[in-house]
Amino acid sequence: MFAAEAKARDRPGTLEDVPLLLSPGQGSQSAGMLTPWLDLPDARPTVERWSDRTGLDLIGLGTSASADEVRATEVAQPLLTVVALLSGRALLGGAAPDAVCGHSIGELSALALAGVMTDDDAVALAAGRGALMAEAAAVRPTTMAAVLGGTVDEDDLAAAGLEVATVNVPGQVVVGGPVEALDAWTPPAGARVRRLDVAGAFHTSAMAPAVDGFTALVEQTAATDAVCDVVANGDGAVLRDGRELMRRLVGQLTRPVRFDLCLQSLSASEHGSGATEAVELAPAGVLAGMAKRALPGVPVTALRTPADLPVHA
């Protein structure tokens, strides 16, 4: 166990000088993203232990694998969880966060940092989730596209054989479904459509083959109530019930990520108006930009490398 993880579990609750944490999702990964974090105290032996647990060479994949190798779902998801946990533990230094919110796979590291599960279990679940989703994506060719602008009508999407996969902010929607359905789809007026380089239509019914296997993994994982508020992906609900949060991880596979609702909850809550700072954990970038728009007056930091850590971290 990371020393900081043990301290956080011994000191539940919300502290005044610790941040709201945002944990990024798939698509944030890059080749070599683990390299700078391995210089942190205890990091290398911790990641070696996680490699043993998952059967993946996480150090090799996170330091020397190509961008194409790191993009693979079964690799990207555990690596993103590892990097988020290392950066989060280094930032918190044993404190509990003010609140946490993860985007898709980012919910696993967010729940670990909130004390719902151990870091070891979060990495193991991420590896299992990634493998199961990769298998589901291989059943039928599916894909996703970002729709920027315009108004996406869910009934029109359904008629075209497509589904909403993610709503990040108003006017920024990701749709997914069979490749041929997306090829034939007529986007709404005024919208720009950008195909995403993904293995399949995540957060849609295309991931149904992964549900039973992931349910079994989640049910085998010990869970406790969160030590801070957790803003849940599916509807922006603010929760602390550990088993409910774990149950929602399964539903997340086939249902849209509603990050827009998460940001609404944060902007309307004490965390949006009173948080000392919001920090997107490594490998950061995308969520920080959204948070700056949604949380005016709250300093937002993107934690990309250990050089971005505050002096006290």
How far apart CA 215 and CA 47 sit, in angstroms, is 25
Q: Which of 28, 51, 87, 203 is catalytic?
A: 203
What are the helix (H) ranges across the chain?
3-10, 43-54, 58-63, 67-71, 73-92, 106-113, 119-137, 154-159, 179-184, 211-219, 242-251, 259-268, 270-274, 286-294
Encode 194-204: b = buried (16+ Cβ within 10 Å), e = exposed. Answer: eebebbbbbbb
Q: At what angle do helices 73-92 and 106-113 cross, to 10 degrees?
A: 30
Q: Can you say whether the dihedral through the CA atoms of 115, 129, 278, 30 is positive or negative?
A: positive
Beta strand pairing call for 163-169 and 172-178: antiparallel
How far apart CA 285 and CA 308 sit, in angstroms, is 12
**Reading across the β-sheet that carries 300-302, which strands appear in turn?**
238-239, 229-231, 99-102, 20-23, 278-280, 300-302
Residue 104 is among the residues annotated as catalytic for this protein: yes
| C-alpha torsion 107→111→117→122, nearest 10 | 30
Residue 271 is among the residues annotated as catalytic for this protein: no
Question: Could you give phi then psi for residue 254, rounded to 5 degrees?
Answer: -115, 5
Q: Which of 51, 87, 104, 109 is catalytic?
A: 104
- Compute how many other C-beta atoms are within 10 angstroms of the C-beta atom of residue 241: 14
**What amino acid positions are annotated as catalytic residues?**
104, 203
